[in-house]
Amino acid sequence: MPPWRTLTIQRNPSFMHFRFLSPFLLVLSLAACGPSPDTESESADAASASTRWYGAQQIALGESVFRQNCAVCHGEQAQGTVADWRSRLDDGSFPPPPLNGSAHAWHHPRSVLLQVINNGGIALGGQMPGFADILDEEEKLAAIAYFQNFWSDDIYADWQDMGGVN
């Protein structure tokens, strides 16, 4: 069993739900999630800053992929496009959350982020289209790299501790 599973159980129960129920259920549980950790109060983890899984090339590709496919809903800098991403819309679905580390995306390992990008949420009553046949693997990973690059070192380190790169 990879170490992140046991770590995750202790640190973040909702992450487990995501794995065993459907991806969308966790998205639905966004409203129940507490705020992200205070990134100001802890000093940046120097080791994690230099060990991100992506490099400049992926960020550059990701920026153009994200601008063309994601920014309309998630914001140019992945900051979101609504005042409160936890409040349901009139149709009962959730608005696109920020992906810049201020919301929930950092609770999911890369494989799950990829799954969300592939499948979207429409089949589950959400609003996000799936990109399985629209983007290739490299472009999807680059889009993840792009929005992860807005995450603070502390958030990134937490994600990494949970086994995020899996």
Return d(Cα 159, Cα 71) in angstroms, integer: 23
The residue among 47 and 72 lying less far from ligand HEC, judged by its C-beta, is 72
Structure-block tokens of residue 48 = 């994690």
Query: Residue with the closest Cβ to ligand HEC?
Result: 121
Least Å distance, CB 159 to ligand HEC, is 12
Angle between helices 13-20 and 3-11 (to 10 degrees): 120
The residue among 61 and 116 lying less far from ligand HEC, judged by its C-beta, is 116
Residues binding ligand HEC (CB under 6 A): 27, 69-70, 72-74, 93-97, 99, 103-105, 108, 113, 116-117, 120-121, 126-129, 131, 143
Q: Are 146 and 117 in contact (CB under 8 A)?
A: no
Least Å distance, CB 47 to ligand HEC, is 25
Angle between helices 3-11 and 153-161 (to 10 degrees): 120
Least Å distance, CB 46 to ligand HEC, is 27
If you compute the radius of gyration of the chain from its CA atoms, what whole number of angstroms results?
15
